[in-house]
Structure 1
């Protein structure tokens, strides 16, 4: 019969190290977070061989008293919590008291520190978990932790480490994530004795740090988000749809300053980008979610990569609606900084354009025959042309926009800068029956007329159907659907939510459902598969947009068939009416499938094509 016996302390720490210390990047994370919790404003990270041979973290934080150095490397010893109440509202990055003893048990470890009021510092050496004596040492105020030969005494773990460049890459990626969250802290990194990276300190959540970490393209093509409600605040940056990625490599989420991964929030972001992202592409974002620490449990993952929200449904809905509203303002012609709520009123359209009649007239002249230009030569100087276009094609100042008539918000700047010219300018030509060429104050605008008209029609259909709501259509013969017991529990619990979506569902057994009605608009869809997907969403995320997404897909198809086709000749007034509608329509920068609807070429850029001024 086997004997139960207590494990040795060193083995206990090595087992804990298996959870906390995955690779050198894990060590850097734990030690730098300790430095930040100690109030450091500068952290130096020295590495050798990707952190396997050496990791040295120096900070200018509050330091540790000499007498407490042995306690600092003891298991479950911490200055950050003292009671369950502290744990339930913890605001520090670290709190378990496991990192230092775990790291020290699998390395040659030195801890040196000095508090500002002390005359000199002290140091403590540990080798493979065996603690030495505290000795005096000259040291500036702050703490230095030195980790040499990681996993030297656990060769099986060391074999799993990757190449030097790979391990260094993991460290650099984590430091990039930290730099985004803490631009107030200076980070200096060296590798193999050579400086490799320096993040200079700046203003909290500054645009400068954003460009430094993710590149100028992201900084230039991102929207600033800042919204508060229900005790929650979401702020940061989301990339415009045209700045999308092949992978999820630029997705950063911070909850109360802690970098985490959360499936519910990731799902909410994906939903918000629903019909503005090209298929297979990933959004990019840096988002900070702030809430009462008591409403989030940070003690659910050994490495603190994940959290659990007390009300995940509320969080999901808050993130989704905040980002959805921000993305709705990505209208054609707007600069990223202007694409936020609160912009000035939009230019308006004539009554004919308001009614959507601007594309209903047949091509060609009034008497039939071939297409003829509608704009006669004006004989004007180049600088006079925009004013002349405005006189010919600008709508009355008191006319309502199509977006307003469709229930949307005309939240657009009336002009570009102070030029008096609308953001998309005035049409000057049609190219190959596909593109509209327009001149604005900065240069040339090119519009894909089918893609743009498709989005305009789609948004109008959505607005109309949102006003009507989702109606249920009773089935002549009710459906009995076999499901898993968890799905049956969800259907029973969420019966009211399902009814709002157009499903009348009752439980008829441990693993079966009786479906009596389905959403009327989707009567020709496959109701069984749709209901299963809805139940999965409700169980995993607390809400579902499967029905709305299926409806939107149908409306998108309708808008696509109703949009103006290629090779359709438009008059100049028709082209200008389309431009004005684009400026007034939400999400008009992309078509229903996520493709761009327009492009801008500045005069300076065009000059470079022809080497002007060189």
Structure 2
């Protein structure tokens, strides 16, 4: 029988490295822990310096109260802290760091040097305190002594994870780690507007935030103007719970949730319940894959929340989740319900939340395709699909016809009939009737299928009945009635065309270059998206760090549309080439409330019928709705 290994107490160095695995995931974790220590020390200025993504060097210097020389060794000892005294303090935690794990954990996986000068005196007879330092290498104290420092604390972390290469290899690229460190400092700075912050990366100062800023001014340093202009403040207090901050307009929603910033008593957190309350407040205003921009601060009694759930203190546990949900939802609704952006004096009561007026009206859950005040476009556009704006669309029709081995008509549509089949292809035909044109299927109608699927199209015919509300195209197939959203259908067609012509990069040169002023955050996004934008047909040159010149645009976009598209792309409403194509398809597609001539409607429908994934638009909305006779009988309560 194999003998079991004996139980042993781990050596201190190994204990600290295990703790470091929980607290120090990457350089951004080090920045977070050290900056929070500075804030707990009462600092009003925090300066952060990073080299090589934090691998080579992280320096955090503050002007806080500092640490007496006699206590520096205790500061790098596990579970030694000045922030809690006894068991009862755990239910009333007001500081950011209280476990006493951060400094020894960081010191165990780096070359660690801390210099500090206490703000008071060492003792009643010793005069002003002097600065001192301590050096730690792989968890072992190697040197201590006097140092020179005016005030506060300076922590230097060098060669992070150098002694643990298994951890080092999981770090991302330098630019990615730099961005994560910047994001951490941004999140902390938003919760402490009275504190000045600066960040220097690779010898270049990325930002310097003065103290006593407003939330709007501080956000403007990180988020592009297109996002900040849509933010509305809110402040709602109820039963000792206060939700305040700024919420973005549904019209500026984006395709990812990295601009949803949640705080509990000033601490950045990740909480599903808080996120659910935010999503509930925006319900009916966003598509399923859209996320708003919001900075939400929740203040509540400290004995109502447990912040000692996660080693990195990113998660919390609430005593009364229902009150948390209600306070957050009411606060966000307050921002979304004020007339003309003006915030009401009181919160929306729970009884009236569902009936609260909306600044964006009771319209659809997606931004309107056209300003209702805009005059309707002329209905006399018989060649609309042959002009430059629809060149991509026309080329796609021809490519689809050739891919299906179908002859192409002079108009570019697939001709009726499919090789190898005795039945006609799905086409729309028209007849003259006493009341005007009537559209009938080109062949005998087959038995009605259970669903509108590509497999059922070989022998299918459709009757086009007309357009409703200048938005929906009405079809009949057998005994079924169908409504097709013209904008959503055209979006799907254009996206398929762009994918077929992947990265072709056709560009229309501009006589006068478009000038785009760049916010620092937009300049970073442009650097990441530049190759993808070039593949789409944008020719962009930089004219200094704060301006871009657009010398070429895709042929499917007009100049004004191209400018608006680039603003949306630089505001990070899309991620990756496919999302950019989806945005372009939305910009160039036929709009709702746009009348279509009969030939235009037929051209759109014929192409849509041979487009893959045609049942849903790129945003996930349905393109077509279908009613059987049984469905209509239920609507009319005939059965």
TM-score above 0.5? yes
- Structure 1 residue 108 and structure 2 residue 111: aligned? yes
Which of 239, 263, 271 pairs up with 2:248?
A: 239
3-state secondary structure, aligned to 1:242? helix
- Structure 1 residue 280 and structure 2 residue 292: aligned? no
Q: Which residue of 1 aligns with 2:337?
A: 328
3-state secondary structure, aligned to 1:43? strand
The change in CA–CA distance for 1:306 and 1:567 in structure 2 (over 3 A counts) is same
| Preserved CA contact (<8 Å) 2:470 2:595 | no
**In 2, Cα distance between the equivalents of 1:29 and 1:409?**
39
- Structure 1 residue 80 and structure 2 residue 83: aligned? yes
Q: Which residue of 2 aligns with 1:25?
A: 28
Q: Which residue of 2 aligns with 1:293?
A: 302
Q: Which residue of 2 aligns with 1:136?
A: 146
What per-residue deviation string (whole Å, max 9, x for no partner) do you get for residues 526-564 of structure 1?
Answer: xxxxxxxxxxxxxxxxxxxxxxxxxxxxxxxxxxxxxx9
Instruction: Please state how far the C-alpha of 1:215 moved relative to its aligned partner.
Output: 2.6
| Preserved CA contact (<8 Å) 2:246 2:335 | no
Structure 2 stretches lacking a partner, 5+ long: 121-127, 347-353, 360-370, 380-467, 472-591, 597-620, 623-639
Residue pairs, 1:196-215, within 5 angstroms: 196-203=206-213, 205-215=214-224
Q: Which residue of 1 aligns with 2:273?
A: 264
**Which is bigger in relative contact order (C-alpha 8 A, separation at least 6)?**
1
What per-residue deviation string (whole Å, max 9, x for no partner) do you get for residues 189-248 of structure 1?
Answer: 112233222222223x43211211223222211111100001100000010110101100
- Structure 1 residue 255 and structure 2 residue 255: aligned? no
**In 2, Cα distance between the equivalents of 1:5 and 1:56?**
37
**In 1, Cα distance between the equivalents of 2:204 and 2:239?**
49
TM-score calculated relative to the size of structure 2: 0.54
The change in CA–CA distance for 1:277 and 1:130 in structure 2 (over 3 A counts) is same
| Preserved CA contact (<8 Å) 1:179 1:213 | no
Instruction: Please state how far the C-alpha of 1:120 moved relative to its aligned partner.
Output: 2.3
Residue pairs, 1:40-55, within 5 angstroms: 40-55=43-58
Instruction: Please state how far the C-alpha of 1:53 moved relative to its aligned partner.
Output: 0.6
- Structure 1 residue 91 and structure 2 residue 94: aligned? yes
Q: Which residue of 2 aligns with 1:61?
A: 64
3-state secondary structure, aligned to 1:80? coil
| Preserved CA contact (<8 Å) 2:113 2:156 | yes
The change in CA–CA distance for 1:98 and 1:426 in structure 2 (over 3 A counts) is closer
Q: Which residue of 2 aligns with 1:7?
A: 10
**In 2, Cα distance between the equivalents of 1:178 and 1:162?**
22
Instruction: Please state how far the C-alpha of 1:46 moved relative to its aligned partner.
Output: 1.4
Structure 1 stretches lacking a partner, 5+ long: 344-406, 413-424, 434-447, 452-563, 569-592, 595-614
Instruction: Please state how far the C-alpha of 1:119 moved relative to its aligned partner.
Output: 4.6
Which of 224, 228, 238 pairs up with 1:229?
A: 238
Q: Which residue of 1 aligns with 2:225?
A: 216
**In 1, Cα distance between the equivalents of 2:345 and 2:268?**
30
| Preserved CA contact (<8 Å) 2:236 2:330 | no
| Preserved CA contact (<8 Å) 2:262 2:269 | yes
What per-residue deviation string (whole Å, max 9, x for no partner) do you get for residues 297-319 of structure 1?
Answer: 00001111110001112211222
| Preserved CA contact (<8 Å) 1:16 1:98 | yes
What per-residue deviation string (whole Å, max 9, x for no partner) do you get for residues 396-452 of structure 1?
Answer: xxxxxxxxxxx967899xxxxxxxxxxxx997965558xxxxxxxxxxxxxx9989x
3-state secondary structure, aligned to 1:224? strand
Residue pairs, 1:449-468, within 5 angstroms: none
Q: Which residue of 1 aligns with 2:165?
A: 155
The change in CA–CA distance for 1:215 and 1:201 in structure 2 (over 3 A counts) is farther
TM-score calculated relative to the size of structure 1: 0.56
3-state secondary structure, aligned to 1:270? helix
Instruction: Please state how far the C-alpha of 1:34 moved relative to its aligned partner.
Output: 0.2
**In 2, Cα distance between the equivalents of 1:169 and 1:239?**
23
The change in CA–CA distance for 1:155 and 1:316 in structure 2 (over 3 A counts) is same
**In 2, Cα distance between the equivalents of 1:324 and 1:44?**
37
**In 1, Cα distance between the equivalents of 2:375 and 2:19?**
70
Instruction: Please state how far the C-alpha of 1:323 moved relative to its aligned partner.
Output: 2.1
**In 2, Cα distance between the equivalents of 1:212 and 1:83?**
41
**In 1, Cα distance between the equivalents of 2:91 and 2:183?**
29
| Preserved CA contact (<8 Å) 2:236 2:327 | no
Instruction: Please state how far the C-alpha of 1:265 moved relative to its aligned partner.
Output: 0.9
**In 1, Cα distance between the equivalents of 2:143 and 2:249?**
57
| Preserved CA contact (<8 Å) 1:202 1:209 | no
**Matched positions, count:** 366
**In 2, Cα distance between the equivalents of 1:293 and 1:174?**
23
Q: Which residue of 2 aligns with 1:464?
A: none
| Preserved CA contact (<8 Å) 2:254 2:291 | yes
Q: Which residue of 1 aligns with 2:19?
A: 16
The change in CA–CA distance for 1:142 and 1:342 in structure 2 (over 3 A counts) is closer
3-state secondary structure, aligned to 2:243? strand
**In 2, Cα distance between the equivalents of 1:127 and 1:54?**
14
**In 2, Cα distance between the equivalents of 1:287 and 1:39?**
23
CA RMSD after TM alignment: 3.1
The change in CA–CA distance for 1:36 and 1:566 in structure 2 (over 3 A counts) is same
Instruction: Please state how far the C-alpha of 1:107 moved relative to its aligned partner.
Output: 0.7
3-state secondary structure, aligned to 1:235? strand
**In 2, Cα distance between the equivalents of 1:139 and 1:281?**
49
Residue pairs, 1:375-390, within 5 angstroms: none
| Preserved CA contact (<8 Å) 1:62 1:115 | yes
**In 2, Cα distance between the equivalents of 1:252 and 1:202?**
20
Which of 165, 169, 174 pairs up with 2:179?
A: 169
The change in CA–CA distance for 1:426 and 1:12 in structure 2 (over 3 A counts) is closer
**In 2, Cα distance between the equivalents of 1:279 and 1:260?**
23
The change in CA–CA distance for 1:215 and 1:428 in structure 2 (over 3 A counts) is closer
